Amino acid sequence: MTSQPLGLNQALTPATAEHRKAFETKAFEILSQKFEAAMDPRDRWSLTAIVPGSRLRECVHFLRDDPAMRLDLLLDITAVDYLGYPGHDAARYAVVYNLRSQRFAAHRLRLKVWVEEEDPQVPSIHDFFEIANWQERETWDQYGIDFSGHPDLRRLLNHIEFTGHPLRKDYPVRKRQWLSTNDPLILPLEARLEANGFVVLEHVAVNSPSVEETDLLGKSAVEKINYVEKAK
Amino acid sequence: MKVQTPEGEHVDLLTVNIGPSHPATHGALRAFVALDGEIIRAASTEIGYLHRGFEKMVEQGTYQQVLPYTDRLNYCSAILNNIGFSHTVEKMFEVEVPERATTLRVLLSELSRLIDHQVCIAAAAVDLGALTNYWYLFNPREEVYSIWEKLSGARLTNAFTRIGGLYRDTYEGFETDVRDVLPKIEKGLDDAFKLLEHNRIFIDRTRGVCPITAEQAVSWGWTGPCLRATGVDRDLRKDDPYLSYETYDFQTVIGSTGDTYDRLLVRMYEMRESLSICRQALSRLKPGPVNTADARLSLPGHDKTYHDMEALINQFKLVYEGIRAPAGEFYGSIEAANGELGFFIVSDGTGKPWKIKVRPPCFTQFAAYADLVEGSLVADAIACLSSLNIIAGELDR
């Protein structure tokens, strides 16, 4: 049991409102001094600190490792699309990082980075938290936010042939898309083999879509339906 | 696939899909693996088979209309999701639900946790080839479903809570039914314990299989029983108590090695604690209202609606425009059966949520799956998967 970091196997003192307030005051003071953080007035219940995208990585690194902060659990990464939000006057998107501590029960905060519509980019934090890899993939998939430096920014929940980013406010709810093939996954598998020290000597041919599926490529949904109906 | 191993040997690897059409992957999880004999050298996973656009759908209706969707997140313990969502919205209003509703929520939470753990343990044992446990655990589980049916009208997707309280008070004889079912669950659990805990085959199949260290588990964002199996003593019911959990007497259960055996055993021991919490909650149940009187959240009730103009308007506004959560951004979470279930809500002050992001506990567990199974046997990958208790409803949303 020596490999365990001190304290994780001991119960925490339960968080109280006072503890939480004290942490939020202290954390915000440090964040505003070190990383030009601003308080987000939209969060009237707890602390959401807005940091510039350029300072995000050092800020996350600091919050994770600083002995007084220890926000070592990345609960979630998501984005918010404010297109049409009443009275909104900042950038269209925000990427939100939800952090919590496994060392101190009262330590919780969210970081927010504004992302402009023209260039939706944020630096990736996949190397600080293992889970960030998938959370960033999901955010890319749903909102089209580009996490620069992410090693494998693929769609996660939606299909590989899907076009667009469905959680954007301008994505029509009732829009339907024709999806024909399955994800071969061969390239990610080869990448994992190489990461595990293997050298791939002969690449497997990617399952080529059947003749019918190839014929469907490039056709509109209506054309595809007509094509399949005719083939029946 | 011809490869050169790290040792310089040339081998031909076989690529195989484990799932989605495999009994252990429930038609919803897929791992594409490269096999060297029976050993998994690399794995790549795909999710999204059950993606139905939960987060897009909930933006279309009112807050009340979100509730039935939450049933479909973790459908093995639907009421826990209902409680998580209602609790989060109530926190935005800073409204407390009446005492009876709180106690009932604790009771229903723990019963849900029990039936969720039963699914996990029973299915894990079946995946290992031990069918008997399944009946011992699922027979009493069926009786809990009968209670759900009498309580809410539905077995699986209960939608039993409301923002500000519960759908309705319990039926006559509810407490007796729960009192009767608890010893049956306990008996089934004890039988499963006797069959599994010191079973040579079970131990050989699970101990030391796909372990994870505490640091790795935290970095992967794990919470709940899978994290506790690594020896990390964290449970939101203790660390950040909600629904007055601090007043209940129970222990958190932790493992030591974070392997498949620990993950399953932690769940089994947790069931004992949940049984104890259920009994404590039963003894506290007193008659009283189950919905808050706060007119911003609760319907006025038929008597008032039909006889009082203001109440009629209130009913009309709540139903047609929805509960108007205060504008702002809020994250609330509870300890669900698999870990921290959180809801991040963005409200623009109208009756429809601007955005709701679910933080599902399974997501973090399955993200680590490829890492966990690399280097182990195909059969171990199945044992590991069932110990993680991945529920595709909340994984894919």
Cβ of A8 and B232 within 8 Å?
yes
DSSP SS3 for B297: coil
pLDDT over threshold 70, residue B127: yes
pLDDT over threshold 70, residue A206: no
Confidence at A208, pLDDT banded by 50, 70, 90: very low
Cβ of A196 and B327 within 8 Å?
no
pLDDT over threshold 90, residue A2: no
Tell me the CA end-to-end span of chain B in Å, nearest whole number. 34
The mean-pLDDT minimum among A94-103, B18-27, B159-168, B357-366 falls in: B18-27
Compare CB distances from A98 to B33, B344, B370 and report the shortest one's residue: B344
Q: What is the pLDDT of residue A182?
A: 80
Write the pLDDT tens digit of every residue in B72-99. Answer: 999 889 999 999 999 999 999 989 899 9
DSSP label at B342? E
Cβ of A9 and B254 within 8 Å?
yes
Give the span between the Cα atoms of B147 and B175, in whole angstroms.
10
Confidence at A3, pLDDT banded by 50, 70, 90: very low
The mean-pLDDT minimum among A137-151, A203-217, B242-256 falls in: A203-217
Mean pLDDT of A78-106: 90
Query: Taking a contact as any Cβ pair under 8 Å apart, which residues of chain A between 167 and 226 contact chain B?
Result: 167, 171, 173, 183, 185-186, 188-190, 192-193, 195-204
pLDDT over threshold 60, residue A210: no
Within an 8 Å CB–CB cutoff, is residue A53 touching chain B?
no
Residue A190: phi and psi, rounded to 5, are: -65, -40
Cβ of B47 and A102 within 8 Å?
no
Q: What is the pLDDT of residue B280?
A: 94
pLDDT over threshold 70, residue A209: no
* Domains parsed from chain B with CATH numbers: 2-46 (no CATH), 54-396 (1.10.645.10)
Q: What is the pLDDT of residue B27?
A: 77
Compare CB distances from A78 to B213, B233, B357 and report the shortest one's residue: B357
Write the pLDDT tens digit of every residue in B38-52. Answer: 999 999 999 989 999
Confidence at A232, pLDDT banded by 50, 70, 90: very low
Cβ of A196 and B238 within 8 Å?
no
Confidence at A211, pLDDT banded by 50, 70, 90: very low
Compare CB distances from B239 to A15, A196, A199 and report the shortest one's residue: A15
Give the span between the Cα atoms of A49 and B215, in whole angstroms.
26
> Are the C-beta atoms of residues A108 and A99 closer than 8 Å to each other?
yes
Decide the pairing of beta strands A73-81 and A93-100. antiparallel
Quick one: closest CA in B to A96, which residue?
A: B344
Residues of chain A with C-beta less than 8 angstroms from the C-beta of B18:
none
Confidence at A4, pLDDT banded by 50, 70, 90: very low
Average pLDDT, chain B: 91
User: What does the angle CA B20 – CA B25 – CA B27 come to, to the nearest 5 degrees?
Assistant: 45
Q: What is the pLDDT of residue B5?
A: 85
pLDDT over threshold 80, residue A223: no
Q: Which of A196-200, B232-236, B275-279 has the highest mean pLDDT?
A: B275-279
pLDDT over threshold 70, residue A214: no
pLDDT over threshold 50, residue B35: yes
Please confirm whether the linkage preceding A166 is cis (ω < 30° from 0). no
| Radius of gyration of chain A measured on its C-alpha atoms | 22
Confidence at A220, pLDDT banded by 50, 70, 90: low
Write the pLDDT tens digit of every residue in A134-193. Answer: 999 999 999 999 999 998 888 899 988 888 899 999 999 988 888 887 888 888 888 888
Compare CB distances from A193 to B34, B55, B256 and report the shortest one's residue: B34
Q: In percent, how much of chain A has pLDDT > 70?
A: 84
pLDDT over threshold 60, residue B149: yes
State the residue for tokens 């203790």: B238
Residue B246: how many CA atoms within 13 Å on its side-chain side?
Answer: 9
Q: What is the pLDDT of residue A205?
A: 62
Residue B393: how many CA atoms within 13 Å on its side-chain side?
Answer: 15
Q: In percent, how much of chain B has pLDDT > 70?
A: 100
pLDDT over threshold 70, residue B142: yes
Q: What is the pLDDT of residue A228?
A: 52
**Global pTM value:** 0.89
Confidence at A196, pLDDT banded by 50, 70, 90: confident
pLDDT over threshold 60, residue A80: yes
Mean pLDDT of B145-164: 92
Q: Which of A213-217, B25-29, B347-351 has the highest mean pLDDT?
A: B347-351
What residues contact A94, with CB distance under 8 A and at least 6 apart? A79, A80, A82, A112, A113, A114, A115
Mean pLDDT of A80-104: 90
Cβ of A45 and B47 within 8 Å?
no
Nearest to B340 by CA among B362, B319, B317, B368: B362
* Domains parsed from chain A with CATH numbers: 1-165 (3.30.460.80), 178-232 (no CATH)
Dihedral sign computed on CA atoms, order B385, B387, B393, B395: negative
Q: What is the pLDDT of residue A216?
A: 57
Give the span between the Cα atoms of B198 and B201, in whole angstroms.
9
Mean pLDDT of A66-83: 91
**Separation in Å, CA of A169 to nearest CA in chain B:** 9
Write the pLDDT tens digit of every residue in B293-352. Answer: 888 888 888 888 888 888 999 999 899 998 998 999 999 999 999 999 999 999 998 989
